[in-house]
């Protein structure tokens, strides 16, 4: 920012004395998904109040610290502000280039999702009997079955035409694998810190991540090739499965890497894409997208719309025929990949926005 490197840290306030609030429970295993050691300790101390009350920037060259208040109503932070009146700056004083890099904290989102698994139930009897308990989905990572971690993505929320940077996590019912909902934490502009939940219609079955993983394993062409790759003295690594809501459907993408015995960096070898009733694996994203959008006949289940409104903007213009749309999607993907390698986040975001619009248009046309 302005030729200087700035570190940005989340500054939390916490307490174990908030009335009628569920304490964090280490026995749930949630601390294994947290990135911050301090928050892992909080799960061991029974805290039941946590707020992302402030942001701190640290100048990497001279160590200058700036504390910016995000939550004016937080009572703990208000006390600190009275003790150190010259330390904190208001949210309106955050420079725009700094604000543009704020993101919904991973650990806070994870803890909120963990608590909401139970407290989404509004009926007292249902809540007491835990009849509608949700859980974090599982996925196959490398060769192990692991709990899915919330992930960041750039996507367009339902009812909107503009992309934004969000944190996302699907939910599945307790001891079941189908997907029932997904939660989104927003990071952009005035929507920073807002949570949204999208629920799927109960009468429709929507595949969860582990079911998609099972369908991948049960696809002979894919399982045979993965087995063959692993027999050449190399290690096959199944990467993170991404669940990407697009319009009224879901797109699942999973990379497959190959790592040599010498311990070199894994190399991307295949890309698996699932959409509707189709599961394909290609050497490139181009092959997978072409196969999926060329053969798709049945759309996936539609998510329920949220009650809150979101800002909209004009969508980008898209080419009309299938071949040019697929090529445009690949061009946007490649532009985003190069921008990511160069650290050009503005160009990366624009490329992701273009890719999202093209995929949405493909979904509508087919």
How many residues does this entry show for the chain? 366
Q: How confident is the model at residue 75 (pLDDT cuts 50, 70, 90)?
A: very high
Query: What domain range is 24 assigned to?
Result: 6-111
In a domain, 199, yes or no: no
Least confident piece of the model among 22-26, 57-61, 95-99, 301-305: 301-305
**Range in 64-73, 216-225, 261-270 with the lowest mean pLDDT:** 261-270
Assess if residue 185 is contained within a domain: no
Dist CA 192 CA 100 (whole Å): 10
Is the residue at 247 inside a domain? no
What average pLDDT does range 153-164 have in this prediction?
Answer: 84
Residue 351 located in a structural domain? yes
Domain's final residue, options 64, 93, 111: 111
pLDDT of residue 215: 93
Q: Are 300 and 191 in contact (CB under 8 A)?
A: no
Query: What does the pLDDT look like over 329-342, one tens digit per residue?
Result: 777 777 777 776 66
Residue 287 to residue 307: CA distance in whole angstroms: 38
Distance between CA atoms of residues 37 and 213, nearest Å: 31
What share of the chain has pLDDT > 70, as a percent? 87
Note the pLDDT tens digit of each residue in 164-173: 999 999 999 9
Q: By C-alpha distance, which of 259, 255, 297, 256 is closest to 275?
A: 297
Q: If pLDDT is split at 50, 70 and 90, which confidence band does 359 have? A: confident
Q: How many domains does the chain have?
A: 2
**296: nearest Cα among 339, 335, 249:** 249
pLDDT (0 to 100) of residue 28: 64
Q: Are 97 and 116 in contact (CB under 8 A)?
A: no
> What own/partner pairs with CB < 8 Å and gap ≥ 24 does 160-163 have?
160/310, 160/311, 160/312, 161/312, 161/313, 161/314, 161/315, 162/311, 162/312, 162/313, 162/353, 163/349, 163/352, 163/353, 163/356
In whole angstroms, give the CA distance from residue 170 to residue 240: 14
- Which residue among 111, 126, 145 closes a domain? 111
Structural domain ending residue among the three candidates 63, 89, 111: 111
173-186, pLDDT tens digit by residue? 999 999 999 999 99
Residue 130 lies in a domain: no
In a domain, 183, yes or no: no
Given this model, what pLDDT does residue 341 score? 64
At residue 286 the predicted structure's pLDDT band, cuts being 50, 70 and 90, is confident
User: What is the pLDDT at residue 300?
Assistant: 43
Given this model, what pLDDT does residue 335 score?
78
Q: Is residue 139 part of a domain?
A: no
Q: Would you say residue 337 lies in a domain?
A: yes
Q: What integer pLDDT is reported at residue 39 of this predicted model?
A: 81
């Amino acid at each position: 920012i302005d030729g200087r490197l700035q570190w940005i840290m989340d500054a939390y306030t916490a307490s174990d004395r908030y009335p009628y609030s569920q304490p964090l429970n280490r026995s749930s295993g949630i601390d294994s998904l947290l990135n911050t050691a301090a928050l892992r300790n909080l799960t061991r101390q029974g805290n039941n109040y946590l707020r992302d009350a402030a942001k701190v920037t640290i100048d990497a060259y001279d160590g200058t610290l700036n504390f910016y208040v995000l939550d004016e109503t937080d009572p703990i932070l208000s006390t600190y502000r009275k003790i150190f009146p010259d330390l904190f700056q208001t949210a309106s004083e955050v420079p725009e280039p700094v604000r543009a890099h704020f993101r919904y904290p991973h650990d806070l989102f994870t803890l909120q999702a963990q608590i909401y698994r139970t407290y989404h139930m509004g009926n007292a009897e249902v809540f007491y009997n835990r009849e509608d308990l949700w859980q974090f989905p599982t996925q196959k990572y490398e060769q192990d079955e692991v709990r899915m971690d919330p992930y960041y993505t750039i996507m367009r929320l339902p009812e909107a035409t503009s992309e934004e940077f969000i944190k996302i996590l699907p939910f599945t019912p307790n001891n079941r694998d189908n997907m029932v909902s997904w939660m989104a934490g927003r990071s952009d502009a005035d929507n920073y810190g807002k949570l949204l939940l999208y629920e799927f219609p109960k009468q429709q079955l929507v595949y969860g991540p582990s079911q998609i993983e099972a369908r991948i394993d049960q696809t002979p062409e894919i399982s045979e090739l993965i087995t063959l790759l692993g027999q050449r003295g190399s290690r096959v690594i199944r990467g993170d499965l991404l669940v990407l809501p697009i319009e009224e459907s879901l797109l699942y993408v999973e990379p497959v890497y190959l790592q040599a015995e010498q311990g070199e960096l894994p190399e991307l070898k295949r890309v698996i894409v699932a959409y509707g009733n189709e599961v394909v694996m290609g050497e490139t994203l181009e092959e997978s997208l072409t196969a999926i959008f060329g053969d798709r006949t049945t759309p996936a289940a539609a998510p329920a719309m949220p009650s809150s409104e979101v800002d909209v903007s004009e969508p980008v213009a898209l080419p009309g025929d299938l071949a040019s749309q697929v090529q445009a999607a690949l061009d946007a993907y490649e532009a985003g990949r190069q921008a990511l390698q160069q650290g050009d986040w503005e160009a990366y975001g624009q490329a992701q926005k273009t890719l999202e619009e093209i995929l949405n248009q493909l979904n509508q046309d087919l």
